[in-house]
């Protein structure tokens, strides 16, 4: 890899590896947006910890080896920057009707509004997640977890910068207006909500946070991977670097849920409780029972599947045809990359049963990405079950049926149980609390959400991590709280 564009310039107000200094109009536009962003961060970002010194990683380059520098930072002073993966010489458009043409360095006029829409939707999710998580700091189960929350938050903030950069650089006044609107919409706001459903849901507790970073950040991974295939080269380069940050977020989710599961099973063993369904007895131990963990999985999985849009979508077909958004790992797939005449089996509910129906592959881009997502999400579930099995407790967590509790797409009108039976709406409502977190479940979880702020100490309901961040020792003070 060449050194060009690998190092990040930290001398500018806005760190970057895109030679911002040479584009004065853009630099000014971004500098004008900056104070509004900081105001948004202070009023909608992590509540109560703006003065704390947090042991964060900051990107210093974009090469895979050693891009991160760790050190204590007050979050509002974090150096949010514009970081693109290095440009590949001679890169081509790899799919759709422009396949084989040189990748675009400017926005193709005919696809301007389609591309802008994709950037806006992607950008909108990033600050939304920060807003959803803003109350969690006060109940963190350890300083280690508190630090991980804040790392995720500042990087989601950086991902907003990534999309705002593209909008402001390539979309002129429209882009500037979209950038402003990103700071005006808010998660759950009745008048100006975030664009996608899952980003208006609450993240009420830390188990939800771990589920969100496991399931919903994984949608982020799949969507970013599809956008990284884009024929619009600046988008591809932006997303390639965002993916390196996303990996840590999913680690926080998978290891977080795993540690909750592990602590529950250990506590049950210590107390001689073998029956995971003896929920009351397990709760007495100050841990989260496995059936409640399953309900949280059901909720976050279903809400996240909705983020893939309708299974059969002309929007997705248009974005693919245009060369703007590809399939997951597009260049590794062995076909014509134009999908002429090819089909894809889409799961549907037809004549009273679930079955796959062959649809034109172009229209089934969303269905395919969702299927790829489900495969990817299954890995962590297997690893969680290994943790349970190791302790000798008999219980398996699982992903619910893809039609369970959906609001978007093929199954939105159906009432489907987690194991895939279609029932009446009334029957579904009557059983709802068996499948999704009920008030009593949330009250129990809530009762456990007490902050633990001594270095090396952990709340009763979560196991310690196996290793520290940046190989720090167990009693490392990841967050120095302001007095």
Give least dist CB 301 to ligand BYC, A: 14
Per CB under 6 A, the segment of 57-65, 119-127, 172-180, 391-399 that binds ligand BYC is 119-127
Q: Is 303 helix (H, G, I), strand (E, B) or coil?
A: helix
Give least dist CB 317 to ligand BYC, A: 8
Give least dist CB 246 to ligand BYC, A: 8
Q: Are 287 and 460 in contact (CB under 8 A)?
A: yes
Give least dist CB 97 to ligand BYC, A: 18
Site for ligand BYC in 148-177 (CB under 6 A): 156
Q: Does 217 bind ligand BYC (CB under 6 A)?
A: yes
Q: Does 16 bind ligand BYC (CB under 6 A)?
A: no
x-or-dash string of contact with ligand BYC, 170-209, rule CB under 6 A: --------------------------xx------------
Please say which residue, 5 or 129, places its beta carbon nearer to ligand BYC. Answer: 129
Q: Does 235 bind ligand BYC (CB under 6 A)?
A: no
Please say which residue, 168 or 313, places its beta carbon nearer to ligand BYC. Answer: 313
Residues 155 and 130: their CA atoms lie apart, in Å, by 9
Q: Does 330 bind ligand BYC (CB under 6 A)?
A: no
Residues 84 and 209: their CA atoms lie apart, in Å, by 28
Please say which residue, 26 or 120, places its beta carbon nearer to ligand BYC. Answer: 120
Residues 438 and 289: their CA atoms lie apart, in Å, by 13
Site for ligand BYC in 247-306 (CB under 6 A): 306
Query: ∠148-135-197 over CA atoms, to 5°?
Result: 90
Q: Does 223 bind ligand BYC (CB under 6 A)?
A: yes
Q: Among residues 57, 65, 92, 58, which one has the least CA distance to residue 6?
A: 65
Which position among 309, 323, 380, 400 is part of the footprint of ligand BYC (CB under 6 A)? 309
Q: Are 251 and 263 in contact (CB under 8 A)?
A: no
Q: Are 24 and 91 in contact (CB under 8 A)?
A: no
Q: Does 123 bind ligand BYC (CB under 6 A)?
A: no
Count, residues near ligand BYC per rule CB under 6 A: 25
Which position among 145, 178, 205, 219 is part of the footprint of ligand BYC (CB under 6 A)? 219
Which position among 59, 93, 307, 463 is part of the footprint of ligand BYC (CB under 6 A)? 307
Q: Is 338 helix (H, G, I), strand (E, B) or coil?
A: coil
Which position among 30, 167, 408, 459 is part of the footprint of ligand BYC (CB under 6 A)? 408
Which position among 16, 58, 94, 125 is part of the footprint of ligand BYC (CB under 6 A)? 125
Question: Which residues, other chains included, contact 219 with Cβ-Cβ below 8 Å and sequence gap of 6+?
Answer: 198, 304, 307, 308, 373
Beta bridge partners of 72: 55
Bridge pairing between strands 68-74 and 53-59 = antiparallel
Please say which residue, 82 or 387, places its beta carbon nearer to ligand BYC. Answer: 82
Q: Does 465 bind ligand BYC (CB under 6 A)?
A: no
Q: Does 315 bind ligand BYC (CB under 6 A)?
A: yes
Q: Does 126 bind ligand BYC (CB under 6 A)?
A: yes
Q: Among residues 213, 251, 55, which one has the least CA distance to residue 136?
A: 213
Give least dist CB 453 to ligand BYC, A: 26
The CA–CA distances, whole Å, from 385 to 81, 345, 390, 402, 448 equal 39, 29, 9, 20, 23
Q: Are 27 and 21 in contact (CB under 8 A)?
A: yes
Structure tokens at 335: 């076909």
Give rounded-to-5 percent helix, strand, coil for the chain: 50, 10, 40
Residues 476 and 483: their CA atoms lie apart, in Å, by 18
The CA–CA distances, whole Å, from 40 to 37, 92, 180, 244, 297 equal 5, 38, 11, 25, 31
Which position among 82, 107, 118, 207 is part of the footprint of ligand BYC (CB under 6 A)? 118
Give least dist CB 351 to ligand BYC, A: 24
Q: Does 56 bind ligand BYC (CB under 6 A)?
A: no
182 burial via Cβ count (<10 Å: 0-12, 13-18, 19+) = buried
Q: Does 216 bind ligand BYC (CB under 6 A)?
A: yes
Please say which residue, 313 or 321, places its beta carbon nearer to ligand BYC. Answer: 313
Please say which residue, 370 or 444, places its beta carbon nearer to ligand BYC. Answer: 370
Which position among 366, 405, 415, 417 is part of the footprint of ligand BYC (CB under 6 A)? 366
Residues 384 and 400: their CA atoms lie apart, in Å, by 15
Per CB under 6 A, the segment of 118-126, 202-210, 274-282, 284-292 that binds ligand BYC is 118-126
DSSP assignments along 216-265, one per residue: IHHHHHHHHHHHHT-SBHHHHHHHHHHHHHHHHHHHHHHHHHHHHHHHHH
Binding residues vs ligand BYC (CB under 6 A):
118, 121-122, 125-126, 129, 156, 196-197, 216-217, 219-220, 223, 306-310, 313, 315-316, 325, 366, 408
């Amino acid at each position: 890899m060449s050194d060009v564009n690998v190092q990040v310039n930290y001398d500018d107000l806005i760190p970057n590896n895109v030679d911002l200094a040479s584009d004065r109009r853009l630099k000014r536009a971004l500098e004008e947006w900056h104070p509004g962003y900081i105001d948004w961060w202070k009023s909608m970002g992590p509540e109560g910890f703006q003065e704390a010194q947090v042991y964060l990683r900051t990107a210093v380059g974009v090469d895979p080896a050693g891009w991160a520098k760790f050190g204590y930072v007050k979050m509002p002073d974090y150096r949010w920057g514009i970081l693109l993966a290095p440009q590949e010489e001679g890169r081509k458009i790899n799919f759709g009707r422009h396949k084989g043409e040189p990748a675009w360095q400017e926005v193709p006029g005919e696809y301007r509004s389609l591309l802008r829409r994709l950037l806006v939707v992607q950008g909108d999710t990033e600050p939304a997640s920060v807003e959803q998580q803003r109350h969690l700091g006060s109940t963190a189960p350890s300083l280690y977890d508190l630090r991980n929350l804040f790392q995720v938050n500042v990087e989601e903030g950086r991902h907003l910068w990534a999309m705002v950069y593209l909008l402001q650089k390539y979309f002129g006044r429209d882009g500037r207006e979209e950038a402003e609107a990103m700071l005006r919409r808010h998660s759950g706001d009745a008048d100006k909500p975030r664009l996608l459903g899952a980003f208006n849901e609450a993240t009420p507790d830390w188990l939800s946070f771990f589920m969100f970073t496991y399931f919903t950040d994984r949608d982020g991974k799949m969507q970013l991977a599809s956008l990284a295939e884009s024929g619009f080269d600046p988008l591809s380069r932006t997303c390639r670097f965002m993916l390196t940050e996303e990996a840590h977020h999913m680690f926080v989710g998978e290891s977080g849920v795993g540690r909750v599961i592990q602590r529950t099973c250990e506590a049950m063993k210590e107390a001689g409780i073998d029956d995971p369904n003896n929920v009351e007895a397990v709760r007495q131990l100050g841990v989260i029972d496995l059936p409640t963990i399953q309900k949280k999985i059901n909720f976050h999985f279903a809400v996240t599947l909705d983020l893939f849009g309708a299974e059969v979508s002309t929007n997705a077909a248009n974005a693919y045809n245009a060369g703007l958004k590809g399939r997951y790992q597009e260049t590794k797939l062995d076909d014509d990359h134009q999908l002429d005449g090819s089909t894809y089996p889409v799961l549907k509910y037809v004549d009273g049963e679930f079955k796959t129906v062959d649809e034109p592959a172009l229209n089934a881009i969303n269905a395919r990405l969702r299927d790829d997502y489900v495969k990817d999400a299954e890995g962590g579930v297997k690893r969680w079950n290994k943790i349970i099995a190791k302790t000798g407790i008999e219980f398996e967590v699982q992903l619910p049926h893809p039609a369970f509790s959906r609001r978007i797409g093929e199954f939105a009108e159906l009432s489907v149980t987690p194991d895939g039976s279609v029932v009446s709406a009334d029957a579904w409502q009557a059983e709802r609390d068996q499948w999704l977190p009920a008030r009593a479940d949330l009250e129990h979880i809530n009762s456990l959400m007490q902050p633990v702020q001594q270095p090396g100490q952990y709340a009763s309901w979560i196991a310690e991590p196996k290793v520290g961040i940046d190989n720090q020792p167990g009693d490392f003070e990841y967050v120095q709280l302001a007095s």
